[in-house]
Structure 1
Amino acid sequence: MISLKRTTVTDPAFVELVSMLDKDLWARYPDKQGIFAPSNKLDERVQVVVAFSEGQPLACGGFRPTASTTEIEIKRMFVHPAFRGKGISRMILQELERWASEQHYTSAILETGIKQPEAIRLYETSGFTRIPNYGPYQDIEESVCMRKIFAS
């Protein structure tokens, strides 16, 4: 059985998973990952969800407020390779949306990359639509930016 834990960026399970995520991204985007590093820095404003099974961390994701008072940015979504294809990323994403909605946020933005078709598919099937690249991603052709308005 999979359980979800709302936590912070200092949670050891989250730190472990994000380390794996960073290695995965460096492998996919070796020439560009250094550009993304500043955008991936996490601070105490980031709220995190970690999925566990029998005490083992399986997946994570987080969100942080944007300059808008009604919008969040989804960050650091990752599923351990051994547990992919089981719907865990969708569970994480749905929990992040619920948590954000509880705090009166009404929409989310995110950035993913063209070499992550599984992530693009997850976001599209979860109601996200492509938008022009925003902020630090504006001139990065490998970036795919998306937005979702939460259901009322």
Structure 2
Amino acid sequence: MIRIEQVSPTDLHLRTLIQALDKDLQQRYDEENIYTIDLDHPDAFHTTFMVAYIDDTPVGCGAIRPLDTDSVELKRFFVDSTYRRQGIAGNMLQALEQKAIEQGCHFVRLETGAEQFEATAFYERNGYYRIPVFADYEDDGISLCYEKKLDLDK
């Protein structure tokens, strides 16, 4: 059974999963193309973090951080490769989108790398569409950006 919990940026399970994500990204990209988040920075407490569990095992994580009054950015979205294709990512994405709705946001935006084919396919299956590259990703050259308009009536 999948359980998703909101956690603080200091959560050990969250930090372990983000380290696993960073290790995966380091195998795909140069260091300057990896957009991390400083979990020790005070701004991290303005970000909503979630961890997915199967039984008591942490298997995935994700976050949303405010971009403006109308949108959030999906960050640090990851499911351990051992647990993929079990619906974890879909459940976690729904939970994060619901949090964005609760915060009054109309859009979720995200950046992913061009080498993450499984990620782009997942986002497109879940209603995300390509948008122009935004924010810090504009000069990157390998970033793909997506957006989804949220149904606030859910």
TM-score w.r.t. the length of structure 2 is 0.91
Q: 1:127 — aligned with what?
A: 127
Percentage identity across aligned positions?
Answer: 37
Does residue 34 of structure 1 match 2:32? yes
Structure 1 segments of 4 or more deviating over 6 A?
Answer: none
Which residue does the alignment assign to 2:88? 88
Instruction: Name the counterpart of 2:59.
Output: 58
Contact kept? 2:26, 2:34, Cα under 8 Å: no
Q: Distance in 2 between matches of 1:116 and 1:19?
A: 17
What secondary structure, in the 3-state scheme, does the structure 2 residue paired with 1:40 have?
coil
Show CA shifts across 1:86-112 (max 9, x none).
121111111000011011111111000
User: How far did 1:40 drift?
Assistant: 3.2
Deviations 1:52-102 (A, max 9, x none): 112110001000001x21100000000011001112111111100001101
Pairwise CA RMSD of aligned residues? 1.3
CA distance in 1, matches of 2:54, 2:72: 27
Q: Which amino acid aligns with 1:56?
A: T
Deviations along 1:31-69, one digit per CA (max 9) or x if unpaired, are 2x33434x5334111111111112110001000001x21
Tell me the distance in 2 between the aligned counterparts of 1:19 and 1:151.
Answer: 32
In structure 2, C-alpha distance between the alignment counterparts of 1:128 and 1:41, rounded to whole Å: 26
Gaps of 5+ in 1: none
Aligned residues: 148
